[in-house]
Structure 1
Amino acid sequence: MDRNIDLIKKIKEEYPRLSKGHKLIANFILEDYDKAAFMTAAALGQAIDISESTVVRFANRLGYEGYRDLQKDLQGLIKNKLTTIQRLNLAEREYSNDDTLPKLMERDMENIKKTINEINLEKFNEAVDIVLNAKKKYIVGLRTSSFLAGYLGFYLNFILDDVHVIRSESNDIFEQLLRITSDDVLIVITYPRYSKRIIEVVDFVREKNVTIISLTDSKLSPLAEKSDISLIAVSDMLSFIDSLVAPMSLINSFIISLGNKSKEDLNNYFIQLEEIWERYDIYERSET
């Protein structure tokens, strides 16, 4: 199943063939999916006076291995609507003081595994080639995503010329992109809650026929359909913070792939850079 929106579509398609009990579950989800998303199978069953096992069988009927998988897709539908206060309350329920560390790390590992399984390698390699061949490379990410944009830009500057990280704290974002042309590429990074400004930036650049590569969390992201290539890195965490582990891992892979295709130039660049670092005593030297 292609997740989230397809879930609602699937429920509506299956509805006429559902049993009486399953129709009760379907009605509850269609009417209150934001509430159902954070209810256990037992709690959902209790709310509509049916058994927990019936709820689990409903999830199986829709193609899920268990109710937990169905619940995750429901949460994906609403995560961009959650306020920071709601996220804080959810984090308190999800993680206790005793198991916060292992649970969060397990969630991060799960996000990386999902990203590996869902990434389109053909599109990934195509994006690498586009960036290599672009005249200028612009990178933008707002709010939390600005850290990812800065990290990507830092290393791209080692590999390529004309790399421009758009200053997200500035009010002149559009002015910084005024001279972008169809020979250039825009790499845009965004995660929930999606910034309205980043969508405006993409719309502005699209008018100039610029190739747009997005790094985001889902095919349902508002930027996915606005981009020429959308690279998905899962960021699934019920908390007031964003999990950027999988996005960072994808960015690392992107940087290494670019470096491998520019190995000779990059090698010469680092030879010169090491000479500068040594001349100006940039780094602490290890004693041998």
Structure 2
Amino acid sequence: MEKYVDLIKIIQNNFNKLSKGQKLIAEFIINEYDKAAFMTAATLGQTVGVSESTVVRFANTLGYDGYRELQKELQELIKNKLTTVQRLTLANEFSTRENALKKVMQKDTDNIEKTINEIDFHTFEQAVELILNADSIYVLGLRSSSFLAGYLGFYLNFLLDNVKIVTSGPNDVFEQLLKADKNDIIIGISYPRYSKRTLEALEYGKGKGCKIISITDSLISPAAQNADVTLLASSNMVSFVDSLVAPMSLINAFIVAIGMEKRNDITSYFEDLEKIWKKYNVYDVNSKDN
């Protein structure tokens, strides 16, 4: 079984070829995956009104060697709902500091690889086009996602004239989105545990007619519910720490793609910036990096 394929996506892609009984299982898992994750094959079958063997055949139809393999992936999904204290207990797998170093970095590598394997290029292109044609762009990400939002907004401000970073400062997020309308885009970045304020703000923006680009971890993420376009980057966590390496890489690719389209417009702008940076000693004269 390919390691980096999202279970819900597998079920959705195979739904039409499932038997009537298997479709009942599929619908239950999609809607109640947090409950299904800890059910035995017999219990799951009893819950939806099919036999245990039907549950096993359902797992086989999706490409799993058995129900236990499917169940393991379900349990990965619900980790996103764990509290910080509960997630902290996952750190037990780190027996030494060296072990922690290697496992955390390997997990980040896995997340990038999963994102590369699952990225939908057509969706990525849609997101770029929406940005290029928007009147104003609002970048929203709170709590741990605020770092991603700040980074994205920082570089978009070099490329476009109409970028606003929505923060959790003195003005509430709704006040900062007050002037947004149907010609504007809101980029909402949200990862487990999903910020309720971010989700409310996306719903508010959708109600105002804004187009929503969501950067999140899964199609079943609540941040995807109000999105016109959803960009997925994996963030499977290790312990209480959020793995935001893959989302950052996706954001880098997004910035570069927009920059390619605006190359002719921004060349003189960056030439002027270089003069300002040099005049006011913004960077170390011996450094070539930003």
TM-score calculated relative to the size of structure 1: 0.79
Deviations 1:25-76 (A, max 9, x none): xxxx99662588xxxxxxxxxxxxxxxxxxx999656512688863552134
Letter of the structure 1 residue corresponding to residue 208 of structure 2: K
Give yes or no for contact 1:141–1:149 (8 Å, CA) kept in 2.
yes
2:95 is aligned to 96
**Secondary structure of the equivalent of 2:208?**
coil
**Corresponding position: 1:3 with 2:2:** no
Whole-Å separation in 2 of the counterparts to 1:132 and 1:72:
41
Is the contact between residue 37 and residue 72 of structure 2 (CA under 8 Å) also seen in structure 1?
Answer: no
Judging changes above 3 Å, is the alpha-carbon distance between structure 1 residues 74 and 155 closer, same or farther for their aligned structure 2 residues?
same
Counterparts in 2 of 1:267 and 1:191: CA distance versus 1, 3 Å: same
Alpha-carbon distance change, 171 to 277 in structure 1, aligned in 2, over 3 angstroms: closer
Distance 1:209 1:57, change over 3 A: closer
Does 2:156 match 1:141?
Answer: no
Partner of 1:21: none
2:266 paired residue number: 266
Gapped regions of structure 2 (runs ≥ 5): 25-32, 41-55
- Superposed, 1:130-279 pairs within 5 Å as 130-170=130-170, 172-279=172-279
Aligned length: 256
Report matched runs for 1:109-148 at 5 Å: 109-148=109-148
Instruction: Return closer, same or farther for 1:2/1:167 CA change in 2, 3 Å cut-off.
Output: closer
Q: Name stretches of at least 5 consecutive residues in structure 1 with no aligned partner.
A: 17-28, 37-55
With over 3 angstroms needed to count, the CA separation of the structure-2 counterparts of 1:114 and 1:170, relative to structure 1, is farther
Say if 1:7 and 1:73, in contact at 8 Å, map to a contact too: no
Once the 2 structures are TM-superposed, how far is the Cα of residue 279 of structure 1 from its aligned partner?
A: 1.2
CA RMSD of aligned residues (A): 3.1
Q: Secondary structure at the match of 1:144?
A: helix
Q: Secondary structure at the match of 1:138?
A: strand
Confirm or deny: 8 A CA contact 1:34 1:78 kept in the other structure.
no
TM-score by length of 2: 0.78
Letter in 2 for 1:33: A
CA 1:280–1:194 in 2, change beyond 3 Å: closer, same or farther?
A: same
Alignment check: 8 A CA contact 1:215 1:230 kept: yes
Q: Percent of aligned positions with the same letter in both sequences?
A: 51
Name whichever of 144-153 and 109-118 sits farther off. Answer: 109-118
SS at 2:255 equivalent = helix
Task: Label 1:152 to 1:15 Cα distance change in 2 as closer, same or farther (>3 A).
Answer: closer
